[in-house]
Structure 1
């Protein structure tokens, strides 16, 4: 780095601390790739993940100006004002400055928050993630991730059509792309806000939280295939992928494990939507529609997503009981007794 800065004046004009940290981050990313399931680092495209990280932050490098504004000292730049959205934790050693596609700049201080304390009420809840209902709880509650309003959705389609007609590299394309990015960022902000509020509600209200052990990355992989072996039903699969990503499945599970550390139980998702939560019988014909479940063995009827969430709760309770204490009550599984009842 020292030799490169001596040869290139444009490189020497920037902060050496930031450049060295970028090399350390790249080395760590490569080490993670060779050691674990992380993806290989790729070349960054212009306008994507713009930003840099600053380490060795001193106590005087961050100061509050008013109730809603503060300043941070950026190397080679000086004091930069930002909106004080939350208190900066004591003892932060680094922060990252990023610019998203919508053109908004953010500063994030590196600090690991404490998990949400358990309520101590012994309550267990099952969470079934879906597309029509983003998260159905075993208590009967159904949580829906916010989406764009109808007028915003129409504008999004219009901007997509305009973007397709724009010439690459033109000023018009840049303006349309920026407007499109701002609308998408608004959608993502609402989804992140919903995830944070929903996970805090679950972590603060229940001692044990059961969720399905789903591999969201594999479930949302493209079905296009290759030129030699093209995929089938690609457009239908793409629609399902958009629905899953729009519901925030991965973010919901990740934030739950952060806030309720050690209290999240991942259960086997097999047959959770086909098993009756009242009698434990599995019947492929019991789920009459996306929202209705009707057991032909005991006559139990109800919302299909809530029924699946109750099965998840039962499985999570039994997993905790086998590990820590007495079993939590739930339906006992019964073997099929007729040709109407299918195998588990």
Structure 2
């Protein structure tokens, strides 16, 4: 959104009021007995707080009701086992956001091809960048309409995301082939048909700390991090962060947010191309949280190669494999395809030609040479893993989610795939 300084200040106040409303509601909930925790009592408490505390009134009444509904939904998700308990929202560790639950208050209009106008309650008319087609004007009806919006702030400023309900035609079955995908670091996405998708155009130097920034931006980021570390060394424990140090942190966050946007844009373009080409996409069921755990260990049993493991964890987190799988899941469903997951153990060490796992076959990150005397197949290690992933799906080893866990669906009497 293109906001003036006064509008930025107004939306910031609304976001802080919404965060404080959540914290007050959380304290009210945890202090009351279980018998008095009702939606009607919480609604009355919110109304009373808006009357007694002036700066809470900057938040529109509909946005305050949205905070209440979100909080109750968070407890429902906790009781159903889908999430942890709601907790306190800290000032500097919480994403600032404001919800606009009613679409009729927005009054969206298009100025020209790139920009539009929207009405923000208690802020006024605001320009926003028009990036997707919206059901407004003649396109809007009972089945295709805007139902609300959400304002979210990151290091680059305030953004608006519209909620829309649309009626889409049923997708026809996808006529494309099947493919297995192996996610990696050197090659982000390697396919079983020897195709690969990487971002070499951003990697101007080897072992670049952040592959999504230009050389000039990399130099600026390094300079800012060194200056911030130097200024932080003079700050005493418990002392407030200086304005200069906070300005350095803000510039660092802006550069990292820009890199994240570029990576997300590359993932969107890549996953759209893959979903349009293939009917069945098979990926590994990776436990990314376990893969990125630290190797420090304990004082009694310290870990080994801690620095190397931390670098690997950082590289895995930057590739965002889970986000790519999420994009592939809904994009394949929209085009009539499907996405399946198979067990991950052994896919990178098993030979895709003979099916045997022989020690020493995986010679490097990119080379695979089968040590089986009867085989001797050699090729790219990532493509070999992708072929194994596709083979597991064809043998009936796809994972089916059931009751919050993954279950192996295997034909009766079939054994795990080894030799072809």
TM-score in terms of structure 2 length: 0.71
Contact 2:281-2:338 at 8 Å conserved across structures = yes
SS at match of 2:244: helix
- CA distance change for structure 1 residues 236 and 320 in 2, over 3 Å: closer, same or farther? closer
How far the C-alpha of 1:63 sits from its partner, in A, is: 1.4
The one of 159, 169, 176 equivalent to 1:106 is 159
Aligned partner of 2:8 in structure 1 is none
1:28 and 2:100 are equivalent in the alignment: no
Contact 2:114-2:130 at 8 Å conserved across structures = yes
Aligned partner of 1:307 in structure 2 is 384
Q: Identify the range of structure 1 (223-232 vs 187-196) with the bigger mean alpha-carbon deviation.
A: 223-232
SS at match of 2:146: coil
- CA distance change for structure 1 residues 221 and 118 in 2, over 3 Å: closer, same or farther? farther
SS at match of 1:17: helix
How many residue pairs are counted as aligned between the two chains? 326
Aligned partner of 2:123 in structure 1 is 77
Aligned partner of 1:327 in structure 2 is none
1:49 and 2:126 are equivalent in the alignment: no
SS at match of 1:93: strand
Q: Identify the range of structure 1 (278-287 vs 313-322) with the bigger mean alpha-carbon deviation.
A: 313-322
- CA distance change for structure 1 residues 22 and 224 in 2, over 3 Å: closer, same or farther? farther
Structure with the greater relative contact order (CA < 8 A, sep ≥ 6): 1 or 2?
1
How far the C-alpha of 1:202 sits from its partner, in A, is: 1.3
Q: Give deviations 1:52-74, integer Å, cap 9, x for gaps.
A: 11112118621111111111111
Contact 1:64-1:70 at 8 Å conserved across structures = yes
1:282 and 2:373 are equivalent in the alignment: no
Where does 1:138-157 land on structure 2 (aligned, <5 Å)? Answer: 138-145=192-199, 147=211, 148-157=213-222
How far the C-alpha of 1:6 sits from its partner, in A, is: 1.4
Contact 2:146-2:165 at 8 Å conserved across structures = no
How far the C-alpha of 1:248 sits from its partner, in A, is: 1.7
1:93 and 2:147 are equivalent in the alignment: yes
Q: In structure 2, what is the Cα distance between the partners aligned to 1:185 and 1:299?
A: 46
SS at match of 1:272: coil
1:8 and 2:53 are equivalent in the alignment: yes
Aligned partner of 1:271 in structure 2 is 346
Q: Identify the range of structure 1 (61-70 vs 137-146) with the bigger mean alpha-carbon deviation.
A: 137-146
Q: In structure 1, what is the Cα distance between the partners aligned to 2:130 and 2:76?
A: 35
Aligned partner of 1:203 in structure 2 is 275
1:40 and 2:112 are equivalent in the alignment: no
1:190 and 2:282 are equivalent in the alignment: no
Q: Give deviations 1:114-139, integer Å, cap 9, x for gaps.
A: 69957733411111011111111112
Contact 1:55-1:95 at 8 Å conserved across structures = yes
Contact 1:135-1:144 at 8 Å conserved across structures = yes
Aligned partner of 1:339 in structure 2 is none
- CA distance change for structure 1 residues 226 and 81 in 2, over 3 Å: closer, same or farther? farther
Contact 2:359-2:371 at 8 Å conserved across structures = no
- CA RMSD in angstroms comes to 2.8
How far the C-alpha of 1:204 sits from its partner, in A, is: 0.8
Q: In structure 2, what is the Cα distance between the partners aligned to 1:216 and 1:321?
A: 19
Contact 1:125-1:209 at 8 Å conserved across structures = yes
Q: In structure 1, what is the Cα distance between the partners aligned to 2:280 and 2:169?
A: 14
TM-score in terms of structure 1 length: 0.86
SS at match of 1:110: strand
- CA distance change for structure 1 residues 74 and 229 in 2, over 3 Å: closer, same or farther? farther
Contact 1:116-1:203 at 8 Å conserved across structures = no
1:257 and 2:329 are equivalent in the alignment: yes
Q: In structure 1, what is the Cα distance between the partners aligned to 2:258 and 2:179?
A: 31
Aligned partner of 2:10 in structure 1 is none
Q: In structure 2, what is the Cα distance between the partners aligned to 1:289 and 1:269?
A: 19
